[in-house]
Amino acid sequence: MHPDSIHVETREPIRIDVFLVRRLSGVSRARVQRHIAAGNVLVDGQRVRSSHRLLGGEVITLPPLTSRRLSEVAEAVDIPVVYEDDDIVVVNKPAGLVVHPVGGEYRRTVIGALHRRAVARGEDADALGIVHRLDRLTSGLMVLSKRYEARRVMAEAVESRLVHRAYIAIVQGVPAAASGRVDHSIRRDPVRPTRMQAIDAAAAAEIIRQGWPPHVSASGYSDPRRNLRPRRARTYWRVLRRLRGVTVLRCRLETGRTHQIRVHLQAIGLPLLGDPLYGVTSAIERPALHASVLGFIHPASGKPLRFHAPLPDDLRHLIALHNALDAT
C-alpha cells in the first residue's frame, strides 16, 4: 500500500499532529501521535515529533489512515442482549469479539455493534459508553451505559468494588483445597508487553521502592505498554468440579486488572485451558473463561440487579470431553 502525500498549506505555524487531525476525517489525535512516534509520518522525508511545527510548503508522507468513526465503520454483530432500559444495556458477549476498537480491530466490536443498533432504532447513541471490559477471547456478561450520568455512577461503582463479577474457569490441575484467594499484584511484563505479570507482595514493594520508568512517549502520549507500575489485585476461587487432571472453578473478582484471572490462576499453578498467553493447549482454542454472573445497583432507580449467563457451547463441550475421559 503506497503512502499518502499531503502538501501543507497554512497561514501560521501549526503542530503537525493538530494539522493532521484537522485534515484527516475521523482520525484521532492519539492515533496520529502513535504513527508519528513510530516513524510512519515524515515531513520532507524526515522523522519528526508531534510537537514539530509546520510553516507551509512542506510535504507530509504517511500511511493511509481511514476514518474509524463508529457511525461509518461499525459492522452489525449479533450480540445477545440480556437486559436493557433507558440507562443501561447488559449483553452476553461472544468469545472472539473485542469490546472497543483496538489497533486494526475496529469494525467488529461490542460498542460498534450496539452503536449501529441504536442508530437503526432511531435512538441517540452518542452517550453509549463502556463501564467495564472483557478480554477479546473471554465470553460472558458485561454492562454498558446509554446515558452520561449512568456511566458516571456505574464507573464509581466499579471503582468502589460494588459491582459483583463471577466467572467460570476450566483449568489444568486439581487443587487440594476447596477454595482460596490470590493476592499477587499485577503489572505489565517488561520483557513481553502484550502479557501481564503476577508478582507477590515483597517483589511489588521492591519495585515500588526502586520506582519505574515513565510511560510517556517522546511524542507526549501515555503508552500503557510502558507502564510497569504494579497494581494490587485480588481473586477468590472455589472448586465447582474436579475431573481427571482438570478442575472447574468459580472465580470472583475483587479488583479488575487486565488479564487478572488468567495471570492469577497461572501464578498458583492452575493455568486456564486454551489460554495462548498464560495457559496450556487444549481442545478449545481460546481461554476457558466465561463471565457468568454480574450484579450491581441500577444507576438511576437504585434497584439491585443480578444476571446469569449459562456456559457457552464450547465450554460445555470441553467439560463433557473431560467427563468422558474421566469415565474411561
Just list the catalytic residues: 135
Instruction: Say how far apart CA 248 and CA 242 lie, in whole Å.
Output: 6
Which single residue is written with the C-alpha cell 503508552?
Answer: 223
Distance, in Å, from the CA atom of 141 to the CA atom of 160, rounded to the nearest integer, reads 19
SS (H, E, C) the chain: CCCEEEECCCCCCEEHHHHHHHHCCCCCHHHHHHHHHCCCCEECCEECCCCCEECCCCEEEECCCCCCCHHHHCCCCCCCEEEECCCEEEEEECCCCECCCECCECCCEHHHHHHHHHHHCCCCCCCCEECCCCCCCCEEEEEEECCHHHHHHHHHHHHCCCCEEEEEEEEECCCCCCEEEECCEEEECCCCCCCEEEECHHHHHHHHHHCCCCCECCCCCECHHHCCCCECCCEEEEEEEECCCEEEEEEEECCCCCCHHHHHHHHCCCCEECCCCCCECCCCCCCCEEEEEEEEECCCCCCEEEEECCCCHHHHHHHHHHHHHHHC
- Smallest CA-to-CA distance from 314 within 280, 284, 279, 274 is with 284
Comparing CA positions, the residue from 181, 236, 229 lying closest to residue 204 is 229
> In the numeric block, which cell numbers belong to residue 44?
520532507
